[in-house]
Amino acid sequence: MTGSLNANAGPRIRYNADESAPYETITVDKLTPIIGAELGGVDLSKPLSNRQQDEIHRALAENLVIFFRDQVLTPEQHMSFGRLFGDLHVHPAAPHESGMPEMMIIHSDKNSPRANGEGWHTDVSCEVEPPMGSILHIKTCPPRGGDTLFASMYAAYDALSDRMKAYLDGMIALHDGEPVYRGLFKPIGVADKPEYPRAEHPVVRTHPVTGRKCLYVNAGFTSRLLGVPRDEGDAILRYLYQHMENPLFQCRFRWRENSIAFWDNRCAQHRAMWDYWPHTRSGHRVTVTGDRPF
């Protein structure tokens, strides 16, 4: 194997997944030891018991992204599930269902100029309080393709050298929505807003639930590092983006109709594959509000 994690003394990322206590009300089938799990034994269209809610919260914390199959939900049920984790976020630019600003439309077909999420990113990190998580319900799938990739920013941070960790400690990055969103949705009739969010966040953030450190820069929204020369910051960001994309940190989810993915934006990045043209991929996303990174 070539790349940033090649070594002759064993892998630089050594993840020892301790056996956790068994789940009582859901099943959890891990995609990889590092990231991703498919949950079973739960119908999200029905009220969840307190124990089920607790175990779904736990599964998300342990696996960063969780998946549900064969979930037939109304928009109201989709939003109700999201509200179990916090208030719902309204996207600053993307189209939404009429009368439901929290219900973001995810749609690509043969006439689309682009698809949502084609590059590695974490959702709307340009906001002062970026979203905690995103819940995507895909209802129409192409016959093949359209997978989504997810990457653990815990693992990406853990695999850095101690010298790089020391360099990044306390560093701040600017996340800017202006170059991302300006004109992005005009081709589908969504007018631009006067301005889009921008915010400064730590390059290494601490997850408020797990207490673990993870990288929090992404090629989608991070425009520069603050406090260092621009060329130096650009070089560091290029290295970090390349480093984050290592397949050792990733899982890949193959969609079927009525599948749901719920990812933690605080510690995971994702990338959607648009390899299914001219077919259609369509659904809705609700996003849960978050806190200011620290």
* 58 included as an active-site residue: no
Query: Of 89, 270, 271, 281, which one is the catalytic site residue?
Result: 270
Exactly one of 121, 201, 205, 271 is catalytic; which is it? 121
Give the active site residue among 137, 175, 201, 285.
285
285 catalytic, yes or no? yes
242-259 b/e (C-beta count within 10 Å ≥ 16 → b): ebbbbebbbbebebeebb
14 noted as active-site residue: no
The active-site residue out of 89, 91, 123, 266 is: 123
Active site residue 270: yes
Question: What residues are labeled active site?
Answer: 121, 123, 270, 285
